[in-house]
């Protein structure tokens, strides 16, 4: 078809990637870290020639996972004559960064990002057209889009299904798969491998326990025959030891909680420091106590805003200027910033390991980077984050000397977290999709309704007036949606809880600019430092005193 004619063949993309990687090697200094990254990539290329199936890539943070997994995927696609590579990422916040990296390597027009919830709800003909068909050779999408498409019963979402057949699917940061849906997800993955020519690559620094196992006498059906790209357990351990660049300090007393004031006081003592907390409110509370030039990062800032701030932060770090950052966990996956000191509010072991990956990332410090874990005044949000913290608490309490970066501890951690703490099919989806003779039927519609990773009844998307966002919102208002406008607007969206959404609607802060699409009415409620103001008093009364 004409649409497809602008895309390169897989062989051509592989040539482009190899050329790009060669240039990177020429430019990079021959440090031990860069040598290790090269070896990882070479292993990926060799393993890409293996038969199709399920692979895992266990590489510590900072090991160059993104381009190495792409090298595996393109090599594998070429060898088995597959149509495309689909990159599945847990957070929208890192999609932008990965897609940019792929575009640099492969060309601007070869990569399609698909993530926003903005065009799913409205069913006018034009905005339906604005939803992507997955026909590019490289798709970068979210776990939510990918897995909900597999379980969907809407034609707009199912249209993507035939494009998943005969592809390499890379699950990046696979430890963040939603636990309550793990069983249907893993069974569906195995089905795609067995019958639809799909190869999966499970890509993570903290390899979760996804293989089949027997727990307390119950057989758990995980994935069969997972091939580790790096090699056997000894080789993986050797790689992790060689990439160890930080020391993690746990609190001596797990029952003592620090106040935000105490944490702020400690942070101010460092010129360059990153502090990661578990929710948006904590992020704002702590940020408010810090000096004026402290950066703030959270999902209440739109993608464009976050990207700009991250660029500024990288710049400051490069120039060795003072730089303090308070962030939610969105920096823990795939955002390659490199601080000498990182503080992390107590959380799951995987989160702590991810936070440590933002510390001495390039291995340039003369001594190991410093990672400080502290007990914050508030617990992590209810759900998986809370369970993860509790699981970590019990593991730490039971062990004398714990190194959260030791690869072998994760099997124990995830086994506890996944298999003991949870129902892995909390909505009973598998039962609905197994035909029963008596009922005579498969309940696709009910299954689709129940399979919603992000409970859309709890969250709504708002377009915000930041930077170019205002101009684009006005265009949408007066001209209606088209594909390129909707794609540009994805950079200016923020998700808020439904109760905040209705409160904002009621006080006239947001308006419906097109059926089912809502936007901020003015720039007043979007702060240039901390993003969308929800639940906050809008004005500081003292600002109004002239």
Q: Using one digit for the tens of pLDDT, what is the confidence trace for 361-410?
A: 888 888 989 999 999 998 887 777 888 888 888 888 777 666 767 777 77
- β-pairing, 272-276 vs 323-327, is parallel
Say yes or no to pLDDT of 212 above 80: no
Task: Report residue 544's pLDDT band, with 50, 70 and 90 as the boundaries.
Answer: very low
Coil, helix or strand at residue 141: strand
Cα–Cα separations (whole angstroms), residue 430 to 184, 275, 299, 453, 516 = 6, 40, 32, 15, 32
Average model confidence (pLDDT) across the chain = 80
pLDDT of residue 426: 54
Q: Which two three-digit tokens encode residue 220? A: 């758990």
Cα–Cα separations (whole angstroms), residue 188 to 191, 195, 286 = 5, 11, 42
387 or 95, which is more confident? 387
Q: Which residues contact 421 (CB under 8 A, 6 or more apart)?
A: 179, 387, 391
Mean per-residue pLDDT, 54-73: 87
pLDDT of residue 399: 73
Most confident of 29-33, 242-246, 344-348: 344-348
Say yes or no to pLDDT of 451 above 50: no
176 or 79, which is more confident? 79
- 111: burial class by Cβ within 10 Å (0-12, 13-18, 19+)? buried
- 15: burial class by Cβ within 10 Å (0-12, 13-18, 19+)? middle
Most confident of 78-87, 334-343, 421-430, 478-487: 78-87
Cα–Cα separations (whole angstroms), residue 80 to 14, 68, 163 = 14, 18, 16
Mean per-residue pLDDT, 455-465: 77
Say yes or no to pLDDT of 24 above 70: yes
In this structure, what DSSP letter does residue 321 have? -
pLDDT of residue 81: 94
Q: Which range among 92-106, 181-195, 450-464 shows the weakest confidence by mean pLDDT?
A: 450-464
Mean per-residue pLDDT, 353-357: 87
pLDDT of residue 439: 40
Mean per-residue pLDDT, 240-248: 84
The owner of tokens 């903290």 is 206
Say yes or no to pLDDT of 102 above 50: yes
Q: Which residues contact 545 (CB under 8 A, 6 or more apart)?
A: none
Task: Report residue 253's pLDDT band, with 50, 70 and 90 as the boundaries.
Answer: confident
**What backbone phi and psi angles, to 5 degrees, belong to 455?**
-65, 105
Mean per-residue pLDDT, 409-428: 65
Task: Report residue 94's pLDDT band, with 50, 70 and 90 as the boundaries.
Answer: low
List the 84-89 sheet strands across, edge first: 111-114, 138-142, 84-89, 167-172, 199-204, 54-58, 226-228
Task: Report residue 160's pLDDT band, with 50, 70 and 90 as the boundaries.
Answer: low
pLDDT of residue 89: 84
pLDDT above 90 covers what percent of the chain? Answer: 30
Instruction: Find out whether 353 and 244 touch, Cβ atoms under 8 Å.
Output: no
pLDDT digits (tens, 9 = 90+) for 110-156: 887 776 544 444 434 333 433 456 677 888 888 877 877 776 555 55
Q: Which two three-digit tokens encode residue 474? A: 């006005």
Instruction: Find out whether 276 and 331 touch, Cβ atoms under 8 Å.
Output: yes
Instruction: Find out whether 207 and 213 touch, Cβ atoms under 8 Å.
Output: no
Say yes or no to pLDDT of 521 above 70: yes
Cα–Cα separations (whole angstroms), residue 325 to 191, 402, 460 = 44, 27, 27
Give the whole-angstrom CA distance, residue 83 versus residue 74. 10
Instruction: Find out whether 143 and 177 touch, Cβ atoms under 8 Å.
Output: yes
416 or 12, which is more confident? 12
pLDDT of residue 123: 39
446 or 29, which is more confident? 29
pLDDT of residue 222: 74
DSSP codes, 95-127? HHHHHHHHHHHH-GGGEEEE--STTTS---HHH
Coil, helix or strand at residue 159: coil
DSSP codes, 11-57? HHHHHHHHHHHHHHHHHS---HHHHHHHHHHHHHHHHTTSPSSEEEE
Say yes or no to pLDDT of 80 above 80: yes
Task: Report residue 159's pLDDT band, with 50, 70 and 90 as the boundaries.
Answer: low
């Amino acid at each position: 078809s004409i649409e497809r004619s602008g895309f390169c063949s897989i062989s051509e993309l592989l040539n482009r990637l190899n050329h790009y990687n060669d240039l990177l090697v020429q430019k990079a200094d021959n440090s031990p870290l860069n040598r290790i990254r090269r070896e990882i990539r070479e292993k990926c290329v060799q393993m890409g020639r293996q038969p199709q199936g399920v692979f895992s890539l266990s590489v510590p943070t900072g090991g160059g996972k993104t381009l190495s997994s792409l090298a595996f995927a393109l090599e594998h696609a070429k060898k088995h004559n597959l149509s495309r590579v689909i990159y599945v990422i847990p957070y929208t916040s890192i999609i932008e960064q990965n897609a940019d990296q792929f575009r640099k390597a492969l060309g601007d027009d070869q990569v399609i990002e698909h993530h926003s919830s903005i065009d799913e709800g409205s069913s006018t003909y034009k905005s339906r057209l604005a939803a992507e068909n997955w026909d590019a050779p490289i798709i970068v999408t979210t776990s939510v889009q990918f897995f909900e498409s597999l379980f969907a019963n809407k034609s707009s979402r199912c249209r993507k299904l035939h494009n998943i057949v005969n592809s390499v699917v890379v699950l990046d940061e696979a430890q963040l798969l939603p636990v309550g849906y793990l069983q249907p997800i893993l069974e569906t993955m195995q089905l795609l491998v067995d019958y639809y020519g799909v190869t999966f690559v499970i890509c993570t620094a903290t390899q979760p326990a996804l293989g089949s196992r027997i727990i307390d006498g119950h057989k758990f059906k995980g994935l069969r025959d997972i091939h580790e790209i790096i090699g056997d357990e000894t080789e993986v351990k050797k790689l992790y030891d060689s990439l160890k660049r930080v020391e993690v300090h746990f609190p001596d007393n797990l029952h003592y909680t620090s106040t935000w004031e105490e944490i702020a006081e400690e942070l101010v003592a460092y010129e360059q420091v990153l502090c990661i907390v578990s929710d948006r409110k904590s992020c704002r509370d702590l940020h408010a106590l810090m000096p004026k030039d402290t950066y703030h990062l959270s999902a209440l800032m739109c993608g464009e805003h976050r990207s700009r701030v991250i660029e500024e932060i990288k710049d400051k770090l490069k120039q060795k200027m003072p730089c303090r950052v308070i962030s939610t966990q969105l920096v823990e996956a795939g955002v390659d910033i490199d601080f000498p000191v990182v503080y992390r509010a107590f959380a799951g072991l995987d989160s702590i390991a991810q936070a440590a990956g933002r510390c001495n990332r390039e291995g340039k410090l003369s001594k190991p980077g410093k990672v400080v874990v502290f007990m914050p005044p508030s617990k992590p949000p209810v759900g998986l984050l809370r369970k993860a913290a509790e699981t970590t608490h019990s593991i730490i309490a039971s062990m004398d000397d714990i190194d959260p970066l030791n690869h072998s501890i994760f099997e124990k951690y995830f086994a506890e977290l996944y298999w003991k703490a949870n129902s892995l099919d909390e909505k009973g989806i598998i039962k609905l999709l197994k035909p029963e003779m008596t009922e005579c039927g498969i309940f696709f519609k009910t299954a689709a309704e129940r399979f919603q990773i992000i409970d859309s009844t709890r969250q709504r998307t708002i377009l915000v007036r930041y930077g170019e966002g205002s101009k684009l919102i006005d265009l949408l208002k007066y001209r209606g949606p088209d594909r390129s406008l909707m794609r540009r607007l994805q950079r200016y969206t923020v998700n808020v809880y439904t109760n905040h959404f209705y409160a904002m609607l009621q006080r006239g802060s947001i308006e419906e600019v097109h059926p089912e699409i809502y936007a901020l009415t003015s720039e007043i409620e979007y702060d240039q430092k901390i993003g969308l103001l929800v639940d906050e008093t809008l004005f500081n009364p003292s600002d109004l005193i002239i």
